[in-house]
Amino acid sequence: MHRDDRGQLERLYCSEELRPWLGGATVTQSNLTHTGRRGTVRGMHLQTPPHAEDKLVTCLQGRVWDVAVDVREGSPTFLQWYAEILDGSENRTMLIPKGFAHGFQTLTDDCIMLYFHTSSHAPKSELGLDALDARLAIAWPEAVLHRSPRDCTHPSIGPSFTGIRS
């Protein structure tokens, strides 16, 4: 980021800097979300092969608790989650790799999130997991006050679920 008396300039995407992380994949789609209410949970979402995607997620306004869950078959961290606070004033981005479900909880009202995806949206490859599933045991930092009707219908993970093949 560059700051001077006029304001600031922030690079949001640079293919050269991201090449080691994206393994040669390119960004094919970007999305912007606005979530109005604190305590809202969006997720957990991913796309399965052949449309699996990496996501670069940035909070432009507000503050969120951003979560990634490993659902890769055979992974040593299978069903473990990792979370970071993303704050619109901190200019940080989180990479969600292929094979990880993604979601977040808003910690303030009026959160705006920017996503860069390495695969276009493919409805037949969508997968959603219940963000409140006891098997995931995600420790949401605040009471979950709102989820979309669609996110509420995502199934819990059954005992036969062994993960997503790459």
Angstrom distance (rounded) from CA 21 to CA 40: 29
What values do phi and psi take at 30, rounded to 5? -130, 150
Of 51, 102, 115, 154, the active-site residue reads 115
Question: What are the CA-CA distances from residue 47 to residues 4, 30, 38, 90, 124 (Å)?
Answer: 40, 15, 26, 28, 9
Structure tokens at 159: 């005992």
Which of 45, 51, 117, 154 does the annotation list as catalytic? 45
127: number of Cβ within 10 Å: 15
The number of residues making up the chain comes to 166
Please confirm, yes or no, whether 146 is among the known catalytic residues.
no
Tell me whether residue 102 is one of the annotated catalytic residues: no
Q: State the catalytic residues.
A: 45, 115
